[in-house]
Amino acid sequence: MPETMKSGLEIRLVEALQPVRYFVLAQVLHQFMETGLHKELDAGPRTVEELSESLSLQPRRLVGVLHYLANEGYLSENDGAFSLEERARETAVFSSWYKLLVGGYSQTFEQLGRTLQEGAGFASRSGLDVGVGSCGISQYDAYPVIVDLLGAVRDEIESVVDLGCGDGGSLADLMELLPGLSAIGVDPEPASVRAGEELMRRRGLDQRVRLRVAGAENAPELDLGPGPVCFISAFVLQELLEQQGREAVVGLVREVFTHHPDAHWVVIEVDNRIADRAAMAHRLALSYYNPYFLVHYLTEQRLERDAFWHELFTEAGAEVAQQLTADPRVDSTGFLLGYRLRLSPGGAR
pLDDT of res. 349 = 47
pLDDT of res. 86 = 97
pLDDT of res. 167 = 85
- What gap in Å lies between CA 171 and CA 143, rounded to an integer? 9
Whole-prediction pTM value?
0.89
Mean pLDDT per 10-residue run, the chain (349 residues)?
Answer: 69 96 98 98 98 98 98 97 98 97 97 97 93 90 95 91 89 91 91 93 94 84 78 94 96 92 96 98 98 97 97 97 97 98 79
Residue spans of beta strands (DSSP E) within 48-200:
75-78, 81-84, 159-163, 182-187
pLDDT of res. 1 = 53
Phi-psi region of 164 (alpha: psi -120 to 50; beta: other; left: phi over 0): left
| Domains defined for the chain, CATH in brackets | 3-93 (1.10.10.10), 113-343 (3.40.50.150)
- What gap in Å lies between CA 237 and CA 268, rounded to an integer? 9
- What gap in Å lies between CA 61 and CA 46, rounded to an integer? 16
Phi-psi region of 331 (alpha: psi -120 to 50; beta: other; left: phi over 0): beta
Q: Could you report how far apart the first and last alpha carbons of the chain are, in Å?
A: 80
pLDDT of res. 117 = 97
Contacts of 304 (CB under 8 A, 6+ apart): 238, 241, 269, 272
Phi-psi region of 268 (alpha: psi -120 to 50; beta: other; left: phi over 0): beta
pLDDT tens for 251-302 read 999 999 998 999 999 999 999 999 999 999 999 999 999 999 999 999 999 9
Q: What is the CA radius of gyration of the chain?
A: 23
pLDDT of res. 347 = 66
